[in-house]
A = this chain, B = another copy of it.
């Protein structure tokens, strides 16, 4: 599987274009509406057919480009069933499998940042959305987030993946672009090095983060796949 990471400078969002080189079937994970033309041009230049638009969750910090890209490519929008998204084409559950050519995309339900987080597992790489970030993790204080759920998702699901699994997050705010499960188990500042649920919860409950600027626009828009 080929992977191309893309960055939206305004919202610090990573988008991922992945494709099977043999069949040129592609998926795009977590698109951003302002970057749709860029993404379409890249897909065209690489000669790819976009089959899936994979959302890791209903985002609160940017508006998805999925609706717009579906119109222009015919791809199917995929998101976890807990989102109750009325516009998605495929609502997923734990361990569902999608395919690009002979390559498999396996879905883990990794809630805690929201109730509808998915991690997409593809050939030794985990696209973790806002569940597991690099040395960090998603906040748990809105959108049905839960310290207990996120702790369980990360320690019982993601940290049990092979150590050399690459971690590709939904955002990074320090300029890291990838990590590994081994690194996060050892060095994640919020949940690594064997932190207990109590330690994790105290830390998460004291973050005192402001709401994302666009949350009141982004969440309803994303439940409509970007209003397209």
Interface residues in A, total, Cβ within 8 A: 20
Residue pair A6, B38 in contact (C-beta under 8 Å)? no
Contact A38 B175 (CB under 8 A): yes
- How many angstroms from the CA of A176 to the CA of B4 in the assembled complex? 8
Instruction: Let me know if A183 and B6 touch, CB within 8 A.
Output: no
Q: Is the CB of A183 within 8 A of B45?
A: yes
* In the complex, A141 has a CB within 8 A of chain B: no
Chain B residues closer than 8 Å to A174, beta-carbon distance:
38
Count chain B CB atoms within 10 A of each CB in A5, A7, A46 and give the residue with the most: A7
Residue ranges of A at the interface with B (Cβ–Cβ < 8 Å): 4-9, 15, 35, 38, 42, 45-46, 174-178, 183, 186-187
Give me 15 other A-B pairs in contact (C-beta within 8 A), A5-B178, A46-B183 excluded.
Answer: A4-B176, A4-B177, A5-B177, A6-B176, A6-B177, A9-B9, A9-B175, A15-B175, A35-B175, A38-B174, A38-B175, A42-B176, A45-B183, A45-B187, A177-B177
